[in-house]
Structure 1
Amino acid sequence: MADVEKLSGLFVNAVRQSCNAQTAILFSGGLDSSLIATVAKRFCEPLLVTAGIENSSDLEAACAVAAQLGLPHEKVVLGEAEIIKVYNKWHRLARGGQLNKIELMVPVFACCRAAAKAGKWNVLLGSGAEELFVGYERYFDYLKEKKDLKEILEKEFAALPAGDCAATDMVAKSFGMAAKYPFLNAAFSQEVLSLPIKERVGTRENKKPLLRKMAQNLGVPALAVERRKIAMQYGSGVHKILLKAKKAGLLEPEASQD
């Protein structure tokens, strides 16, 4: 049985090592970012930053959870033209790529820009939580297909620093910021990855149960603990705008997957 107290303690240390007086958190009001925020407030007063289109689910959830946490919260409302402009900019800087990879940079860019304007040069993100705690829908397909999910998770987790995190680092550095990833902390992640899959996996309807137990143990607001996973590009409303723009021919062409 996974030791929730031990995991919680390791995560607290991971966040503590990532915090300073100039800390901002990319905040969706979901489980991962709310856990980081709840722990970070022990060591500093982080600025929570959320980006999305008007009335998006991330903006609404983030406002509610930020109020419960009693932390300063910066809301960045994105318009259609700006979303397209930022997407095309990062598509060129990344020398092409698939929409589902580049689109994530839109809310990240908007949040980092707002944090930099507020004088916050240290930004925390929840990357790694899905790979550690079996959060993506495709993982349940792999289980159904009898694939070695433990090996897949380890490989995907190991690929993060040179993959998704590298793209985020590039955005943060463009504002003179440093991006930190508490879930990637070596001591914490090694402890989680050493656990059998059966102690980490939930169901399609109730993903990441072990992380939810940790969140409850560390005092995360129930609203965030119970919120179902929504990827940032969907919760922010960015994906819907970009699909519409793609059909209208307003986006840089996607790179071939050959």
Structure 2
Amino acid sequence: MDGATAEAVRGAVDRRESLSGLDGFAGEIDGRLVRDVLGRYPLFSEADDPTTWGFDPNDLANPDPMPAGHARDASGDTELWTLPEPDLYEDGERAVATVREAIVDSVDAVAGSPPIGFSGGVDSSILAARLDGPLYVGGFEGSHDIAAARSAAAALGRPLRVVEFSHADIERGIPEIVAATGRTNPMDIQIALPLYLVAEAAAADGHDRLALGQGADELFGGYAKIANAPGDHRVEAGTVRGAARETVRTLPQQLERDVLALRAAGVDPVVPLLADRVVKAALRLPGEWLVDGGERKVALRRAADFLPAKLHSRDKKAVQYGSLLAREFDRLARQAGFKKRMDDHLGQYVESLRPE
């Protein structure tokens, strides 16, 4: 069992408790496979034989991803847990206080001093303010993420390790990400590759874990598609809160990709903002405590009052854009002869570098 003891998982199964305080798990128990409701740990079985399984798809001939919140055995998949729908907070001060307590307790509970993937945004700054591990940022020279991380690290009085990317990193990294995750979608590659390269640097420095602020944008309303609901074509929901819940349900696929990429680089992710207690607090937030006018992640920013004031309002760009990796990825594709006028020119570029 990955992430928890078999006894603890058995209790969550028996109670059908989706957020039981275990903060994620995946593996076999009592003759069937189980994966937690947010899919915080990847799990696969052979497509035609669920008794043959593993945490790495490369260990299987024909891996079939295990859906989050389900059990799997010879009879098929059975849903055990769904995302809860708790009553919403009616008092704003109570909402912020509960979120603050949840994030502080979850971050402070992280054992040791893992390095932190640091973009300079509010999510990673919460980790950096409370954990002692070294800060790592990755990107191309002149990228937004490197500039923001330098500014935020200075505000926190922390040293910063800058991992500068190169075109060679992209060219060698694409087949490595494809091999690790089994994915060839260019967007998946562009998101996973910056994480992979930073994790590689941390592993080379002797670390076997990397703390990340993953989950905060989904849980607390950090995406434009949540703020723009119901007018954004990327979500079906008719409200900000509905769009946030819809986005939370995309986490299992995202986390599968990211965990596999990080493990291939030599580290395991540490994601305290995806702890059950944080998820419980976030799911109770009404829409106005997710997005208020032009401000996103309202409750999280208010809760992070232990940060320097200049960091409360910090926004961040998606990692593939903030690091400039997406721009340079496209540049390399065009230099290799895959022009924008071609159908799926980035996908064709990925295929050209795919391992035999």
Give the TM-score category using the shorter length: 0.7 to 0.9
Query: 1:71: which partner in 2?
Result: 158
Query: What TM-score results when the alignment is normalised by the length of structure 2?
Result: 0.64
Quick check: which one's strand share is greater?
A: 2
Q: Deviations over 1:140-165 (max 9, x none)?
A: 332337714434422432441x3112
Query: 2:223: which partner in 1?
Result: 136
Question: How far 1:9 moved relative to its partner?
Answer: 1.5
2:244 pairs with 1:153: yes
**How do 1:1-258 and structure 2 match up within 5 A?**
1-2=91-92, 3=94, 4-21=96-113, 23-40=114-131, 45-144=132-231, 147-160=238-251, 162-203=252-293, 205-215=294-304, 217-218=305-306, 220-248=307-335, 249=338, 251-253=349-351
Report SS of the residue matched to 2:291. Answer: coil
Q: 1:34 to 1:136 in 2, by over 3 A?
A: same
Question: How far 1:251 moved relative to its partner?
Answer: 2.5
Q: Deviations over 1:68-117 (max 9, x none)?
A: 22223211011122123212321343333322222111110111111112
Report SS of the residue matched to 2:292. Answer: coil
Report SS of the residue matched to 2:326. Answer: helix
Q: Give the Cα separation in 2 of the matches to 1:25 and 1:8.
A: 20
Question: How far 1:132 moved relative to its partner?
Answer: 1.3
Query: What TM-score results when the alignment is normalised by the length of structure 1?
Result: 0.86
Q: Whose relative contact order is higher, 1 or 2, with alpha carbons under 8 Å and at least 6 apart? A: 1
Letter in 2 for 1:201: V
Q: Give the Cα separation in 1 of the matches to 2:143 and 2:265.
A: 25
Q: 1:7 to 1:201 in 2, by over 3 A?
A: same
**Bigger CA drift: 167-176 or 119-128?**
167-176
Q: Does structure 1 conserve the Cα–Cα contact (< 8 Å) formed by 2:209 and 2:268?
A: yes
Report SS of the residue matched to 1:195. Answer: coil
Q: Give the Cα separation in 2 of the matches to 1:156 and 1:200.
A: 13
Q: Give the Cα separation in 2 of the matches to 1:207 and 1:137.
A: 8
Q: Does structure 2 conserve the Cα–Cα contact (< 8 Å) formed by 1:88 and 1:251?
A: no
Pairs aligned (count) = 245
Q: 1:140 to 1:200 in 2, by over 3 A?
A: closer
Report SS of the residue matched to 2:210. Answer: strand
Which ranges in structure 1 are unaligned for 5 or more consecutive residues?
none
Q: Give the Cα separation in 1 of the matches to 2:229 and 2:149.
A: 31
Letter in 2 for 1:17: A
**Bigger CA drift: 137-146 or 49-58?**
137-146
Highest CA radius of gyration, 1 or 2? 2
Query: % of aligned pairs identical?
Result: 26
Quick check: which one's helix share is greater?
A: 1
Q: Give the Cα separation in 2 of the matches to 1:93 and 1:176.
A: 12
